[in-house]
Structure 1
Amino acid sequence: MIKVGITGQAGFMGSHLYNYLGTKENIKLISFKRSFFENDAALKAFVSQCDVILHIAAMNRHEDQQVIYNTNMGLVTKLVAACEVTKATPKIIFSSSTQEEKDNLYGKSKRDGRKALETWASASGAQVSSLVIPNVFGPFGKPFYNSFVATFCHQIVNGDSPTINSDGEVKLIYINELAEAFYKEVISDSKQTSTTIQVTHTASKKVSEVLNLLNHYKESYMDNGIVADLRDPFELALFNTFTSFIPKDYFPRKFVKHTDNRGAFVEIMRANTSGQSSYSTTVPGITRGNHYHTRKVERFAVISGKARIQLRKINTDEVFNFELDGTEPAYVDMPVWYTHNITNIGDTELITLFWINEPYNPEDSDTYFVEV
């Protein structure tokens, strides 16, 4: 077991890394709180427990660039000091940025922070790996702070029209792909004191291309319930990012039920992508599910009986409850990183239809069991 701690654990990148590494059986996570940087004893205890520290904590934006520089360098200084006092020598994986080469104080804070860590590693016999990271996007990003993708998603979902200041080509990496890069470095057996790794972007898109796709998701998915073509990995990642910004009261969505003297007809699913459909019957009082996915798009459609669907974002406490009744057929889609279940709360058999965008593969199920 490798004991791993993540500074900035509660932030966009840190929380994704924490959740991603939590799916690995060879990793034991050491919890970190922001207050540790203001509590010498807590920070010393933290560094002493860790085999590896992912130093993610940083300030990205502020009106005063000098505040950004001072804050980021101050965090590195405190981390190094705690290691020196305790004589702890964890491997530190530093989150740097392609901004390192630019003439701004944020980039300078990353460059100087990396050099300070490398100096400590050389003197202490520890190891430092610096990951130089391109533009990162993914679910749950902070609008107007983490990424233009997060900003666009937030604006579109809330009925605003984003504007493009400069339609340049942007090199992008999805947060799950970045988490995999960090994991590879966590388990690397390299003995080099200092290593700098240029993390390769996985997509290169004009800002207008991204905006056009997001507007398409709004029109097709939010307005008409149609799942987009998700065969392209970038577009799947962008779709999952977009849907993470949709408020939970958007669900459940009622189907259109056509009734005549023969009975009723309901269209359950319309999608521009392939997938797997299945159904289940559930007896009263029984719960199915209690698992989450990191990439799959999934729909629960209740067509007969009464059900309660529950969702809870991993490592949070708030539970969202949706009650569905087959007399008014409706569906709820499962967001990534939300553990979910469905319970028969009626007195009759519950019939649920499930759709998911990829067939089940036991060798790569993307299914992690956690109680809601």
Structure 2
Amino acid sequence: MKKKIGITGQKGFVGSHLYNTLGLYPDQYERIGFHRDYFENPEKLDDFVKQCDVIVHLAAMNRHESQEFIYETNVNLAQKLADSVERTGSKAHVLFSSSSQEERDNLYGKSKKEGREILGRAAAKNGGIFTGLIISNVFGPFGKPGYNSFIATFCHKLTHGEQPVIDMDGEVKLIYVGDLVEEIMTKIRQGKTEQEFVVPFRTSAKVSEVLEKLENYKNLYFENGEIPVLETAFDYQLFNTFRSYFDIKQHYPVKFTQHKDPRGAFVEVIRLGIGGQCSFSTTVPGITRGNHFHTRKIERFAVIKGKALIQLRKIGTDEVLDFYLDGNEPSYVDMPVWYTHNIKNIGEEDLYTIFWINEPYNPQDADTYFETV
């Protein structure tokens, strides 16, 4: 049977990634929708709780000018959910997202620790399962600048004409949002009580080291279209995070530099610091290719002959971005992670396209999910 999973804070940074990832497994999980106003309506909150086999409590406040307000908000959210669990007699598996700041002398950390204890008691009272997750600094695509992580702030500034400033160059323990989602899903599958599970961080780096990498991505990729050297899993994760902060409508399509002489024209399609797979296609008029998305792959569509419409849509949103490319002025569009995309021949002649992707196709691990733009 499918597990029915509800996520408080499903539209937030971690919540949206978890919600979208669960959607990749429709035969295993059914997502129960949650809205923030449920916390203000006990009847709606109870209805939500009753439907769930699993509740992942992510709704929380991370930053505010008043530390007292953060504390009160987070404790109240946990208490309201706990009250609903008790009122309904729910035996749902409750997972709570806490922070490595629990033991620090600040009200945010205190609010997370108390929230974990409140929900742990409520689950135990009903004979349910509870998992308290202690999480380090999370980063990844679509995090909110100035709120979710310093990496989100740095990426946004570097892609919007600003220079990041380091306030304190300390060593930071980091986990990529995709890795955190996998940890959460593992705990859901295991289904056992753990009052305090410390989620292993994946990378430890100084803030200045992270900024140096991001500045390199800006110089090579953002400004010149060159794929930088990416040696570790962290490099790939950081690069895909950086790419998610582009103003896509303004950045694409990027025109190639043409070198012309009496023989014709020469165009460099891509300069690489990594390998990958390069392919070529022709598409007859009126035909559309694609309508799929990737969660980790880096991909470039380069139109060299004919006329094309490339469309992108971020998963979980309705806005479709249209890019018109013409082989008379060869250009490219790179595909951000979690954006479904396609390419259509809108001309009257065959469309010639060069595709590059950083991983050769592997049918056992394709990272290709079909969804119409």
1:230 deviation in Å?
2.3
Query: After alignment, is 130-139 or 260-269 more displaced?
Result: 260-269
Shift of the alpha carbon at 1:62?
0.9
The answer for the alignment partner of 2:168 in structure 1 is 166
Q: SS at the partner of 1:240?
A: helix
1:97 aligns with 2:99: yes
Shift of residue 244, structure 1, vs aligned partner: 0.5
Deviation by residue 1:268-327 (Cα, 9 ceiling, x = unmatched): 110101110011111111111111100000000001111000000001011100000011
Q: Give the CA deviation at 1:80.
A: 1.3
Q: How far apart are residue 232 of structure 1 and its match?
A: 1.2
TM-superposed CA distance for 1:73, in Å, is: 0.9
In structure 2, what residue type is equivalent to 1:245? Y
Quote how far apart the aligned CAs of 1:135 are: 0.4
**2:192 equivalent to 1:183:** no
Deviations 1:250-279 (A, max 9, x none): 000000112222122111110101110011
For 2:290, what is the secondary structure of its paired residue?
strand
The one-letter code of the counterpart of 1:76 is A
For the residues of structure 1 that align with 2:239 and 2:168, how far apart are their CA atoms? 23
TM-score by length of 1: 0.98
With 288-297 and 86-95 compared, the bigger mean Cα shift is at 86-95
Residue identity opposite 1:353 in structure 2: I
In structure 2, what is the Cα distance between the partners aligned to 1:37 and 1:369? Answer: 35
Between the two proteins, the alignment pairs up a number of residues equal to 370
* 1:141-186 deviation digits (Å, cap 9, x = unpaired): 1111100000111111112111111111100000000000001011
Segments of 5+ residues of structure 2 without an aligned counterpart are none
Which one-letter code corresponds to 1:211 in the other structure? L
Once residues 368 and 231 of structure 1 are traced to their aligned partners in structure 2, the CA distance between those partners, rounded to angstroms, is: 25
Instruction: Supply the distance in 1 between the matched residues of 2:311 and 2:115 (Cα, whole angstroms).
Output: 43
1:13 shift after superposition: 0.9
Structure 1 residues 145-156: aligned runs within 5 Å: 145-156=147-158
Residue number among 34, 37, 61 corresponding to 2:36 in the alignment: 34
Question: TM-score with structure 2 length normalisation?
Answer: 0.97
* CA distance in structure 2 between the partners assigned to 1:68 and 1:136 by the alignment: 19
Cα root mean square deviation, aligned: 1.0
In the TM superposition, what are the counterparts of 1:124-163 in structure 2 within 5 Å?
A: 124-163=126-165
Residue 368 of structure 2 aligns to which amino acid in structure 1? T
1:81 paired residue number:
83
Match of 1:200? 200
Partner of 2:212: 212
SS at match of 1:279: strand
Structure 2 distance, partners of 1:325, 1:257, is: 14
Structure 1, unmatched stretches of 5+, are none
Percent of paired sites with the same residue = 57
* Secondary structure at the counterpart of residue 187 of structure 1: helix
Cα distance in 2 for partners of 1:231, 1:354 equals: 22
- Deviation, 1:17, is 0.8
Find the counterpart in structure 2 of residue 302 from structure 1: 303
In 2, distance between residues paired with 1:164 and 1:275?
34
Task: Indicate the residue corresponding to 1:349 in structure 2.
Answer: 350
Matched residues in 1 for 2:57 and 2:180: separation? Answer: 14
